[in-house]
Amino acid sequence: MPFALSSLRVTSTAFDNDGAIPARHSQEAEDLSPALAWDGLPEGTKSVAVICHDPDAPLVQKGCYGFVHWVLYNLPASLSSLEEATEEGTRGINDAGNLGFNGPMPPEGHGVHRYYFWVLALDTETNLPEGLGMNELLSEVEPHLLGMNRLVGSYQRDA
């Protein structure tokens, strides 16, 4: 299946779709991953992965646009939510070079940025090693993708 939206639904108690992400989830404050929930996983889903990407950020890596804030995988299909500051799953590396969540922090003067919290439903249980980047993860899971969708939040850095 190519990367295409499915009927999977992604929500958060921290912010609404197209709403502002609270500062507590940013690098300007506590830098906590927000709570996420999903439902409508496609039949046959055996595991889930989560990616947070800011397409409005300047080029970070050659050939890649935006900034990857979170890569999380090896989540069982029985899981339908993540608590704030979750310890679930296996942490990948973000574009800051850290494992785990790296909250919003647009460059000074950049205005509002959008943050796409993607949830990917996979047809196999994964046991991938810690530290994969987004492109490495996508390369591994693309053949197993059953469906995906996202929650979009926005954040603007304080002056």
- Where is average pLDDT lowest: 23-32, 89-98, 100-109? 100-109
Tell me, what's the pLDDT at 63? 63
> Where do the domains of the chain lie, and which CATH numbers do they carry?
9-156 (3.90.280.10)
**Which DSSP symbol is given to 64?**
B
DSSP assignment of 86-149, as one string? ---SEE-B-TTS-BS-----PPTT--EEEEEEEEEEESS---PPTT--HHHHHHHHGGGEEEEE
Quote the CA–CA distance of 129 and 73 in Å, as a whole number: 9
Percent over 70 (pLDDT), the chain: 93
Give per-residue pLDDT as tens, 74-93: 999 999 999 999 999 999 99
Report the b/e string of 25-47 with b at 16+ CB within 10 A.
bbbeeebbbbbbbbeebbeebbb
User: d(Cα 117, Cα 55) in Å, to the nearest integer?
Assistant: 11
DSSP string, 17-57: TTEEPPGGGSTTTT-PPPPEEEE-PPTT--EEEEEEEETTS
Q: How confident is the model at residue 3 (pLDDT cuts 50, 70, 90)?
A: low
pTM more than 0.75:
yes
Q: Is the pLDDT of residue 127 over 70?
A: yes
Confidence of residue 133 (pLDDT cuts 50, 70, 90): very high
61 with 29: CB under 8 angstroms?
Answer: no
